[in-house]
Amino acid sequence: MDAVLFDFSGTLFRIESAESWLRAALDETGTALPDAELRETAAALEAAGALPGGAPPESVPEELAGVWARRDESARLHRAAFTGLSRRVPLPAPGLYDALYERHMSPDAWSPYPDARRVLRALRERGVGVGVVSNIGWDLRPVFRAHGVDGYVDAYALSYEHGVQKPDPRLFSAACRALGADPGRTLMVGDSREADGGAVALGCRVRFVEHLPVAHRPDALLPVLDLV
């Protein structure tokens, strides 16, 4: 293999819990909420699918369906989709909706999977190009920098920067071009068969991992080293 492409959320990193996310936004805005109500509200936000990188929405309201389908094509659409979902849940202060969105972009909101650093470092040592291909509406590079793994990534192909989202092969193609890699000698690693499986159309091999909490998935990325 000349290169390995990785998805971001659910593959290399995992977002914090909905409760932690809400608590951080409450602290940021100086808003108080009793613990029982906080837990109830966090559960409602999670059911609404309002946490990017978290559980998908149980249902998408008709007025958001169009935005939701294209949410990763631009920063504007991404914010509109997720703040639209969060506004389905009553919150004690109007500023919390934007605070929640801002919080999920903070490096503190993300944790790398336990084996991510080891795998990325090993690929760098073997001279294998590494790219990150993500459906996202904001710049995730600061997350990689804050967690000390940006030095192992050679290229980023982010949907909102290209105006196209996975499974469209054009996003994987952009990553391969940036790496100077032959798609036929490139491996795509992700957690979504629908989105990340789109790399097959380009000729890439694909390996899937499960989108589990960090503590429940200690070594799912390690087999990548055997494949390359």
- Counted residue by residue, the chain has a size of 228
DSSP strand E in the chain: where?
Answer: 3-6, 13-15, 110-112, 129-134, 155-158, 186-190, 205-208
Which DSSP letter does residue 219 get?
Answer: S
Report the pLDDT value the prediction gives residue 44, as an integer from 0 to 100.
Answer: 98
pLDDT tens, residue by residue, 40-54: 999 999 999 999 999
Q: How far apart are the first and last CA of the chain?
A: 5
Report pLDDT digits (tens) over 57-115: 999 999 999 999 999 999 999 999 999 999 999 999 999 999 999 999 999 999 999 99
pTM: 0.96
Q: What percent of the chain has pLDDT over 90?
A: 99
Q: What is the pLDDT of residue 186?
A: 98
Residue spans per domain, the chain: 3-14+110-227, 15-109
pLDDT tens track for 27-38: 999 999 999 999
Residue 93: helix, strand or coil by DSSP?
Answer: coil
d(CA 47, CA 54): 10
Domain 3-14+110-227 has CATH 1.10.10.10: no
Give residue 191's pLDDT.
Answer: 98
User: What span, in angstroms and rounded, lies between the C-alpha atoms of 225 and 57?
Assistant: 34
